[in-house]
Amino acid sequence: MPQFIGEFECKMDGKGRVMLPASLRKQIPDEAGDKLVVNRGFDKCLTLYTKADWQKETDKLKGLNSFNKKDRLFIRLFNNGATEVQIDTASRILIPKKLQEYAEMENDLVLYAYENKIEIWSAKNYEEMFNMSADDFSELAEEVMNRKDKGGEGDE
């Protein structure tokens, strides 16, 4: 599983193509080749995976109960819009129009790489997401990192 890292400002051209910065492109494993999967993120962003990591994500869905209405809905929503994209010779990927609209993408974008994924954000939405005070961030960290399920000590 790749361990992507970094934050990259980039542009989307009028045809919906996004150039992957060279330092990010180098992080994509050779075995991934020139194929990635782009899909809706849980927030107003898109998420890029290698095909192998996309398979791991969809394998997690196999544990859900297709007889349960909420499980079926989640499976459909999670997979909705998933598209294989190819990195061209200029290190660009083509973002489908439907996904551009979902993520409110304009020309200015931010690629946020972490763990096994690369999120694609409109610069505006990305900036708004981080519009919080240091105190708000501290409170969020305390709440999230103090939970037992996240490796924190939690309440005994």
What is the per-residue pLDDT across 44-75, written as a single tens digit (0 to 9) for each?
A: 999 999 999 999 999 999 999 999 999 999 99
Give 37-96 as a DSSP string: EEEE-SSSSEEEEEHHHHHHHHHHHTTS-TTSHHHHHHHHHHHTT-EEEE--TTSEEEPP
Query: Is residue 150 over pLDDT 80?
Result: no
Give the dihedral of Cα atoms 49, 52, 54, 58; nearest 10 deg: -170
CA-closest candidate to residue 93, choices 6, 19, 15: 19
Query: Is residue 101 over pLDDT 70?
Result: yes
CA-closest candidate to residue 34, choices 90, 89, 85, 87: 87
Residue 156: per-residue pLDDT:
44
- The domains of the chain, with CATH numbers, are 4-128 (3.40.1550.20)
**CB distance 118 to 8 below 8 Å:** no
Beta carbons within 10 angstroms of residue 88's beta carbon: 12
Residue 136: per-residue pLDDT:
85
Write the pLDDT tens digit of every residue in 87-100: 999 999 999 999 99
Query: Is residue 155 over pLDDT 60?
Result: no
What integer is the mean pLDDT of 28-34? Answer: 94
